[in-house]
Structures are given as C-alpha cells and as structure tokens.
Amino acid sequence: MFDTNVFGTMTLTQEVAALMKPQGGGAIVMINTQATRKPMPGESGYAASKGALAVAVKYLARELGPHGIRANSIFMGWMWGAPVQGYVRHVAAEQGMSEDAVIAPVTAQIALGRMPTDEDCARAALFLVSDYARAVTGASLDANGGDFMP
C-alpha cells in the first residue's frame, strides 16, 4: 500500500516538480480519501498511506511555493462509479437484497442525499489545478457530498 500510494506518488511528484520549476509554476493535487478522517472497517492500511500524503502535501506546498508550484489534497468519499457499482451489485446479490437497499444507509449519511459521481469528484480536482485556485496551496478539499464535514 505504501509503495504505491506514498513512495510512487512522491517519486512522480519529484519528477513533475523538476519540470514545473523551470516553467515558473504548476499545480499538484493529491487524491486522498475520507477514510483518513472517518475510520471505516478494513481500511487502516489504505488510510494510513493516504494520511502520509495528507501531511506530505503541506510540506510540498511550503517547499515548492517559492517556485510558483501549488500543492493541495482532495478527499474523496463514496463515489458512484464502476468500483462502487460493482460492490453494490455484489453485496445485493450476496445478501439477497435490492441495490437500493444496499445504497440507502450510505446515502442517508451524505448531506446531499446521493453519492457524488466519479465525474463530480474529478471536477473538484480540476478546480484545484485551475487558475480559479491560484491562491490555494497546502489546502484540503472534501469532495464527498457532505458525508464527512470536519
């Protein structure tokens, strides 16, 4: 988990930062998870690896800021896309219940009353790399429909 989520991400970040410095800036967005803030069964290793990225982004913002490079984190929660749809189908079949019955307790905890789609979350990440966020660095953005509110 750490090899991919931390060491792989940080290696890629070093390579990208080396290219961004001569061009005078850029934006880095770490894709994170609300599991670092809202413990969920079976997610401890994943959450710990993503928690390391949450800390790293603050250091990256400070270290890369003088080069015009912004670094931020976006924290995703439940996302209505292929992986979650497959999970819902599997649980529904395994427990002999409807997919709506599987989804209902999850969406009941989300302020918007629905799971954000993969596209919804991608748009939030695009905001962080856009010029609309040019004054934002070292920040964390929750893109989870209000499932977790710090």
Residue 62 has phi, psi (to 5 degrees) of: -70, -45
* 46 included as an active-site residue: yes
Q: Is 113 left (phi over 0), alpha (psi -120 to 50) or beta?
A: left
Structure letter (DSSP) for residue 145: T
Residue 136 has phi, psi (to 5 degrees) of: -110, 120
**Residues annotated catalytic, as ranges:** 46
